[in-house]
C-alpha cells in the first residue's frame, strides 16, 4: 500500500527533511509522502510513542525516518534536537514547521497561561525551529522551509489566540524569505482551512457538532484531506517551487472567496484527492 503521490518518484532522494508534529494528522501524512519520494525524514514531536508508530509505518512502506522527542517551545530542547538530527542525517534540506495546537474559547475566557501556550506552540516554536535549522545548516548550504498558518483572514473568533499566532507566522515567513534569500533558503507557508484531520478529534462534542456544518460555507462544499495539505507542502519544498518564496498558499476550498452576496450551491462536483492509504478522516466528518 504505497503512498500515491502526484509527484515524480525519487523527487527527494538523498535529502533530509524535518517534520515537526510528525506523529499525527497533516504532519504524519506529509512525512509519509516525503519518505515515499525518497527523503529521510526526521519526525519531531512531544510524544515519543506517536513518533515511533509513524516511524514503523514509514519503514513498513519502504521509507526511512528517525524520531526525536522535543518540545519546540523550549529553546534548549530545540537546539539539542537540531544537533541530533544533523548527527543522524548529516544534513537538513527541508523543514516542515507543522507542529501546533489550540483550544476553542472566547477571548474573555482565555487566561494568560492559555494564551502563552498557544502562541508559543503556533508561533514561537516555529521561529525557534526555523532559526536553528538555518543557523546550524541552511545558512551555509541552502534549503527550504514551509511554515504552518491557518485560515485566519478576517480574524478567528473563538480561537483568537491561534489566529494571532498564525497571522504572526505569515509575517515571520515574509520576513525570513527576504533575510535568508542570500543563503539560498526559501521560506513559504501554507494556510489549511477545514481539513478532515485527526486534530478535530481533540475538540469537545459540541465543537464537533458545529464543525459538521462548516462544509456548507465552502465553495467546494467539502472538507479537505490530509493528502491535499501535504501535497501543497511537498510542492513548496520541491525544486518546482525554486522561484517561490515569501508566499502563503491557502488550502481551503475557496472559503475566503465566499461572500454573503452570493449564495453557495450545494453540490458534490469537487472530487477529493487522497494518496495516503493509512488516512482515516474523523468519523463525524464522513459524508453520510
Q: What is the pLDDT of residues 254-288, one digit of tens each?
A: 999 999 999 999 999 999 999 999 998 887 776 54
* pLDDT for 108: 96
* pLDDT for 74: 97
88: in domain: yes
277: in domain: no
280: in domain: no
2: in domain: no
Higher pLDDT, 163 or 201: 163
6: in domain: no
* pLDDT for 281: 87
Owner of C-alpha cell 472566547 = 106
Q: What is the pLDDT of residues 112-130, one digit of tens each?
A: 999 999 999 999 999 999 9
Report the CATH number at residue 22: 3.40.50.720
Distance separating the N- and C-terminal Cα atoms of the chain: 26
Nearest one of 219, 173, 171 to 194, comparing CA atoms:
219
**Percentage of the residues of the chain whose pLDDT score is greater than 90:** 89
pTM above 0.85, yes or no: yes
8: in domain: no
Higher pLDDT, 244 or 211: 244
279: in domain: no
The residue-averaged pLDDT of 33-59 equals 98
Non-local CB neighbours of 279 within 8 Å, separated by 6+ positions: 29, 225, 226, 227
Range of the domain at 20: 16-249
Give the chain's domain count: 1
The residue-averaged pLDDT of 77-102 equals 97
* pLDDT for 287: 55
pLDDT above 80 (res 103): yes
136: in domain: yes
Q: Name the pLDDT band for 205 (thresholds 50, 70, 90).
A: confident
Amino acid at each position: 500500500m504505497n503512498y500515491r503521490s502526484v509527484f515524480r518518484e525519487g523527487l527527494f532522494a538523498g535529502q533530509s527533511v524535518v517534520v515537526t508534529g510528525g506523529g499525527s494528522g497533516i504532519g504524519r501524512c506529509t512525512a509519509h509522502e516525503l519518505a515515499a519520494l525518497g527523503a529521510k525524514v526526521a519526525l519531531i514531536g512531544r510524544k515519543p510513542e506517536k513518533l515511533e508508530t509513524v516511524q514503523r509505518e514509514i519503514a513498513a512502506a519502504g521509507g526511512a525516518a528517525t524520531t526525536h522527542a522535543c518540545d519546540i517551545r523550549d529553546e534548549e530542547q530545540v537546539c539539542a534536537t537540531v544537533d541530533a538530527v544533523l548527527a543522524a542525517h548529516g544534513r537538513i534540506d527541508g523543514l516542515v514547521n507543522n507542529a501546533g495546537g489550540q483550544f476553542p474559547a472566547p477571548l474573555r475566557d482565555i487566561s494568560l497561561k492559555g494564551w502563552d501556550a498557544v502562541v508559543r506552540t503556533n508561533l514561537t516554536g516555529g521561529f525557534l525551529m526555523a532559526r536553528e535549522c538555518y543557523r546550524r545548516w541552511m545558512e551555509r548550504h541552502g534549503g527550504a522551509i514551509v511554515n504552518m498558518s491557518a485560515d485566519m483572514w478576517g480574524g478567528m473568533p473563538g480561537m483568537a489566540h491561534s489566529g494571532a499566532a498564525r497571522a504572526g507566522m505569515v509575517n515571520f515567513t515574509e520576513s525570513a524569505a527576504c533575510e535568508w534569500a542570500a543563503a539560498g533558503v526559501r521560506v513559504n507557508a501554507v494556510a489549511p482551512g477545514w481539513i478532515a484531520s485527526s486534530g478535530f478529534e481533540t475538540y469537545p462534542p459540541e465543537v464537533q457538532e458545529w464543525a459538521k456544518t462548516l462544509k456548507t460555507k465552502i465553495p467546494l462544499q467539502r472538507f479537505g484531506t490530509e493528502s491535499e495539505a501535504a501535497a501543497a507542502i511537498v510542492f513548496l519544498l520541491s525544486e518546482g517551487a525554486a522561484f517561490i518564496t515569501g508566499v502563503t498558499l491557502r488550502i481551503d476550498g475557496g472559503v475566503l472567496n465566499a461572500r454573503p452576496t452570493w449564495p453557495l450551491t450545494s453540490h458534490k462536483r469537487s472530487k477529493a484527492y487522497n494518496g495516503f492509504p493509512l488516512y482515516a478522516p474523523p468519523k463525524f466528518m464522513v459524508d453520510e
